[in-house]
Amino acid sequence: MDSKDAVIKKIVYDDDKIRNVIKNAPQSYNSILQHHKDNGTMQVVLRRRISRLVKKGSVWKLRIPGTRWGVALFCTPEHDYKIIVVDSLIGVKIYYFFEFKDYDTYITIDDYWEMNTKGWCEWNYKNIPLKIKKYRCLRLWE
């Protein structure tokens, strides 16, 4: 077992570490598990722990509209980032960021992270300005 595997296992079995990972950036089940996303035991343990954190109110569960399998993101009540879900021609795109500029018909984001929709397991950082038309926005969480 390499060090990455050990770190992920330590996170999955500790509520405080799960919460810290979610506090730094919004997460899905697969983005926490990363390459262990197909490990059934770790999935069950993580889902139970997150379910308990959601019931306590220390983690929020955000359902992503327009996703085929009901993808959910998790964030903490005291998060600093904003999350936007955008309807595109090839599906749903999810971004998180800290600042945006609001105009009449669109918003622009300079620095942001985009969720890789293949497996919903990683965020890709981009600093190319992004212009999103407001009618394409399915959801904005601040």
CA distance 87 to 65: 9
Domain count, the chain: 1
Host domain of residue 99: 3-141
User: Is the C-alpha dihedral spanning 23, 44, 123, 99 positive or negative?
Assistant: negative
Cβ atoms of 24 and 96 closer than 8 Å: no
Among residues 78, 86, 140, the alpha carbon closest in space to that of 117 is found at 86
pTM of the shown model: 0.82
* Distance separating alpha carbons of residues 66 and 139, to the nearest angstrom: 10
Q: Which residues pair with 96 in a beta bridge?
A: 83, 113
- The predicted structure's pLDDT at residue 10: 83
pLDDT in tens, 98-122: 999 999 999 999 999 998 878 788 8
pLDDT digits (tens, 9 = 90+) for 123-134: 999 999 999 999
